[in-house]
A = this chain, B = another copy of it.
Amino acid sequence: MREVAITGLGQTPVGEHWDTSLRALAADAARAALDDAGLATVDALYVGNTYGAAFSSQSQIGALAADYAGLHGVEAFAVEAGEASGGAALRAGYLAVASGAVESVMVLGVEKSSDTVGTAHIAARNVSLDADYEAIHGATLPALAALLMRRYMHEYRVVLAAFEPFSINAHANGKLNPGAMYRNLLKPGAFGKAPVVADPVNLFDSAPDGDGAAAVILTSAAQAADLVPHPVRITGSAGASDTLALHDRRNLLDLNAVRLSTNRALAEAGITREAVDLFEAHDAFTILTVLALEAAGFAEAGRGWVLAQDGGIGLTGSLPLSTFGGLKARGNPIGATGVYQAVEAALQLRGEAGPNQVPDARIALIQSIGGLGSSVFSHVLQGKC
């Protein structure tokens, strides 16, 4: 199996891009990644997209993006794993290059969330839930996240304020990122007074859907060394799944697919979790981050929230989280989000993260979560040692 590296990367700002289209966003990120790698084309294009059919009445986005990015004739398909589609596309690209059958792959994530607005947006968004047992009854992702959060607070006697530092950290990092959707700071105490979305999940607790596209180009590590000054190796890659419906899980507060995929990725990379210098977590809701930190082994059950106290998750903390603002402040262009994580982690490991730089970042863990832990893809990225 060949070692795989990120040889180029590109991204668009995240936001409500009313003046552009799904295909134009895809082409922008793709061209930026080609420029970064110094390549004219690639052999294959795998696209992470979650809601193209539902939001934009558009599927077959692999071939469409290939055409608009100027990658004429290349192999192309889209990968879908709910909100983890970006991470799943990265996995597909990793396997293709690792196999030796494909020399260079572009993994492109794209979502045009603003193509459908209002209640139609909410209805479209629900297709990644269990259609027969959750969505049909009116459940939404924030409503189900609220059930998990309430259960967590009850089970472990945790107060709402314990979740606040995650959002404050995300916005502090987003403020430094010119491509972030939200660049405002959250004042201490504001979290507890924010309008409620689905009690106890509030507005400052939920990541905003946004428009955006991000791309990474993967080649063999050997080829990357010839092409670019700072290749970033993907040393661990793993996926895992769990039930879609929350009621089918043995323990609501145990994200088993996070545990499985994290353990597999760390084992493949041959590292312990203590070696991880930064963690791009899927912080769609603070409760999801807390549960992921616990299932990934960074904290005991019921103690994930403690990591965020006293600056522990800041850029200079013991486990920096959401270093460019995460889903919460960079914004959540859903199917693209997992690829944004790869771009951001690669910038950190190249030492090109600017004001968002984590000092001496050498090993990053990135994690893309579909639904509330139904599809999870985890990757370990490593820069120069």
Chain A residues close to B by CB (< 8 Å): 1, 21, 23, 44-45, 50-54, 56-64, 66-67, 71-82, 84-85, 88, 91-92, 94-96, 98-102, 126-128, 130-132, 135, 237-244, 248, 256-257, 260-261, 370-371, 374-375, 377
With A98-B101, A132-B23 known as contacts, the answer to whether A74 contacts B126 (CB < 8 A) is: no
> Nearest chain-B residue to A76 (Cβ)?
B241
CB-CB under 8 A from A64, the residues of chain B are: 130, 244, 374
Copies of the protein in its oligomer = 2
- Contact residues of A: prevailing secondary structure: mixed
Contact A76 B80 (CB under 8 A): no
Contact B63 A81 (CB under 8 A): yes
CB-CB under 8 A from A78, the residues of chain B are: 79-81
Contact B75 A240 (CB under 8 A): yes
> Nearest chain-B residue to A132 (Cβ)?
B21
CB-CB under 8 A from A63, the residues of chain B are: 81-82, 241-244, 257, 370-371, 374-375
In the assembly, what is the distance between CA of A62 and CA of B51, in Å?
Answer: 15
A63, A71, A101, A102, most chain B CB atoms within 10 A: A63
Known: A51-B59, A73-B240. 15 other contacts (CB 8 A): A1-B101, A44-B239, A58-B131, A59-B80, A62-B81, A63-B244, A72-B241, A73-B256, A73-B260, A75-B91, A75-B377, A77-B377, A92-B92, A95-B95, A98-B99
